[in-house]
Structure 1
């Protein structure tokens, strides 16, 4: 066999392994959303408990994403990738055995430790396996497109598994996949390290965990104990102090020539700042939308898990189809068109749900879901392109890691904030005498209004971050770099 053919097959095998890791990470999220109402009945969980089941995983991933990427550069990417696969598989198995909500939340955090290693390290492996610029661009395009495929498959696979076996099976699914991927990684993925790995910024990492943990806890706990309770106020104060301390520590580290967890100077680039804002706003919509709409379909309309999963197809299929279109548009015309269009479509789709009721015609609902899916599908590919525009070449990976973290933070806040809006609304309306289906439907309106605002933010930030002045600011950052 010619060396070129053997090398090409090996590279394709590496791409398949890395793409599969991204697939199971995103599949796990969309599968879980379909299973939440069934899980709630089985474990007698509250709505805030469901929020923690979803957010515990996202919290850990968002907190550790940049740390695991830099650690892999230092200790070996294949080694940490194998650790991540093992942790994700073992965590999934233990989640399937959870006897109550508390244990499930704790085990989801263990699963998140493994999951935090898969996305950044698989991206690094792909970047270092494909040396030809054209092949690398094609490989990264395939890797990125997996997001849409996993999002489309999750509701259907989750609906089938929950309807036929039970909610625990959504975690069983990850175990054999991880086992096969571990074997394939040992055989096909070469070990690699960065020639000059980044130092670990332990103070910055601890402050990031404190910030995200206290903020998430406060937002989820607010409707339960009251927004004016001592616990919630204390948590918000901890979050504020952690944020201020984080900025001070990172700035001091940069001034002393260290390697901070977050490069604050990147935010002098308007495209990078815009991409960060867009990532948070769009993933607030994505995370909150999937969480809330699944509850509506199963609890307000009485759909089975399978029917709820199938009902999400107008959103997920359009989302998957829109991703490659956005990639083409970004490559030929730049990120402005897909970003602005994404924001306007997201706002329009969410606005269509402001009148949602238990008896809303499904055709109208399907159209709203399709419009929303188009917006959310268009936004993902150009975010990274906008973020790394003008960045020094050696900092592009760090910039991408920051944007990946903001995506996770957006999803985390989306579930927490939109879930809280629904929780508060349902309690108030049922106290006024509404039945649960009507109360839940009406309570979603506040969540959709927030999502409309986020969509408009995406459109505005997409426009402002792609002007000539914005590009000049990116060039200035590159020159200083």
Structure 2
């Protein structure tokens, strides 16, 4: 076999590991909670610390690849991710596990953005590159299907630490394969790192995450929580001002002048809000309330992921029939309906009561796949790479908010309940699902308005021309 196909295997395996780590641990959370004696907020930090660092550094990873070469940055990211996985698997306390997960996020942020850059280098022929990108894309769908069931099986039959330790041999093998198969070839591009923008965005995200996770325990009107919210707001404003003046900003704000890009980013983010939220809290609900074993809880998510993957394959045809705006709106409607119906499932429910709504959710989620291509196709020449980076970051940030915002609502509702702990959790879970359904359904008019075809193409060209001019 040609060495370049082995290189594709290394790139795909590395990316698969980072995707898998987004959801493999969710089903194991009740086990981790019992063995480490953690609260709900502690579990949120385990998941959020990874996403927080991953989202905050993703654009930096792409810029470092331009400076030092995609192969070097990919190898560095894979090394960091593998070593951090070892630390996470051996952790004996919540603080150590959270710190290791944050370092995993550093590795993922270096590894993931360089993957497509490497495929461009490895496969200069457009036809071969298309096949390679298609194979690479399957890794995301596989991770959603395999992550929960793998995490459930491991946490039920082995020590929970193996959900992270399995990355060590896989990471070591992938590292060796990458060093052998991926040739170091790149043209150095001179860039400056937007360190002020990076600092401002990191502070804003961390302060907001801290306030949302710790708000219930510390008190929403306590000085530390109010200060965290204020710091997040001030840092966010500072970030916008820095990006407007930076010579090479982390995020080019002029992209948001295009209606389709702005609407697509918001809609895609809300999709991520729903996916991250339902995976995190439903894993706890299935085990703590419905009494599912970890393996059964993991298996419950598989039909959702598989249906989403199948519909994703068909979604381009659907969008050609209905139009991208209507297709995305229909997908959000199905997702919102599924979340709302799940909110009515009681404590005595079985798998048959859950399955229809998980399948419906998968149907809706798969219809959003054409969104990325539609948004990026409207970008001016030379801007699709930057736009893709912003779109990916927005998904991670909205996913982080899906966990922290819904977690804050669940904790507040649970604390206000007079019932036993499990009844209080169920009440909080059902309440947050209603809120999540309302948020997802609110994206329908956004999709219909922003993703509609332009009545006058010239009107859509003006903001793009302005963006192209601002880049020169």
Answer whether TM exceeds 0.5 for this pair: yes
Q: Does 1:423 align with 2:411?
A: yes
Specify the alignment match of 2:9 in structure 1.
Answer: 16
Pick which of 339-348 and 230-239 moved more: 339-348
- Of 362, 387, 390, the match for 1:399: 387
CA distance in 1, matches of 2:192, 2:460: 25
Specify the alignment match of 1:463 in structure 2.
Answer: 448
- Of 273, 279, 292, the match for 2:281: 292
Say if 1:328 and 1:196 are closer, same or farther in 2 by CA, change over 3 A: farther
Q: Does 1:93 align with 2:59?
A: no
CA contact (8 A) 1:57 1:108 kept: yes
CA contact (8 A) 2:264 2:451 kept: no
- Of 221, 245, 270, the match for 2:259: 270
Specify the alignment match of 1:71 in structure 2.
Answer: 64
Q: Across the two proteins, how many residue pairs are aligned to each other?
A: 466
CA distance in 2, matches of 1:128, 1:473: 36
- 1:208-223 aligned at under 5 Å gives the runs 208-223=201-216
- 1:28-39 aligned at under 5 Å gives the runs 28-39=21-32
**Structure 2 residue matching 1:393: 3-state secondary structure:** coil
CA distance in 2, matches of 1:194, 1:462: 39
Say if 1:169 and 1:237 are closer, same or farther in 2 by CA, change over 3 A: same
CA contact (8 A) 1:329 1:337 kept: no
Specify the alignment match of 1:441 in structure 2.
Answer: 426
CA distance in 2, matches of 1:79, 1:334: 41
CA contact (8 A) 1:84 1:117 kept: yes
Summarize deviations over 1:92-112 as a string: whole Å, max 9, x none: 000111121111111111111
Query: Structure 2: which 5+ residue stretches go unaligned?
Result: none
Say if 1:472 and 1:280 are closer, same or farther in 2 by CA, change over 3 A: farther
- 1:249-268 aligned at under 5 Å gives the runs 249-253=242-246, 258-268=247-257
CA distance in 2, matches of 1:215, 1:111: 21
Specify the alignment match of 2:464 in structure 1.
Answer: 478
CA contact (8 A) 1:208 1:246 kept: yes
Q: CA deviation at 1:435?
A: 2.4
CA contact (8 A) 2:192 2:248 kept: yes
CA distance in 1, matches of 2:138, 2:461: 29
**Structure 2 residue matching 1:191: 3-state secondary structure:** coil
Q: Does 1:341 align with 2:330?
A: yes
CA contact (8 A) 2:290 2:350 kept: no
Q: CA deviation at 1:331?
A: 7.4
User: CA RMSD, aligned part only?
Assistant: 1.9
CA distance in 2, matches of 1:170, 1:295: 17
Q: CA deviation at 1:263?
A: 0.4
CA contact (8 A) 2:272 2:402 kept: yes
Summarize deviations over 1:11-30 as a string: whole Å, max 9, x none: 33232222222211121122
Q: Does 1:362 align with 2:351?
A: yes
Per the normalisation by structure 1, the TM-score is 0.92
CA distance in 1, matches of 2:348, 2:458: 52
Q: CA deviation at 1:332?
A: 8.0
Q: CA deviation at 1:82?
A: 0.4
Specify the alignment match of 1:304 in structure 2.
Answer: 293
CA contact (8 A) 1:61 1:115 kept: yes
Q: CA deviation at 1:224?
A: 1.0
Specify the alignment match of 1:326 in structure 2.
Answer: 315
- 1:236-251 aligned at under 5 Å gives the runs 236-251=229-244
- Of 140, 145, 151, the match for 2:144: 151
- Of 367, 371, 385, the match for 1:378: 367
CA distance in 2, matches of 1:473, 1:52: 45
Specify the alignment match of 1:3 in structure 2.
Answer: none
CA distance in 1, matches of 2:325, 2:204: 32
Q: CA deviation at 1:337?
A: 4.2
**Structure 2 residue matching 1:31: 3-state secondary structure:** coil
CA distance in 2, matches of 1:14, 1:446: 47
CA distance in 1, matches of 2:320, 2:109: 29
**Structure 2 residue matching 1:51: 3-state secondary structure:** helix
CA contact (8 A) 1:271 1:474 kept: no
Specify the alignment match of 2:102 in structure 1.
Answer: 109
Say if 1:476 and 1:376 are closer, same or farther in 2 by CA, change over 3 A: same
Summarize deviations over 1:159-213 as a string: whole Å, max 9, x none: 1111111210101110111111111111111224355454211111111101111
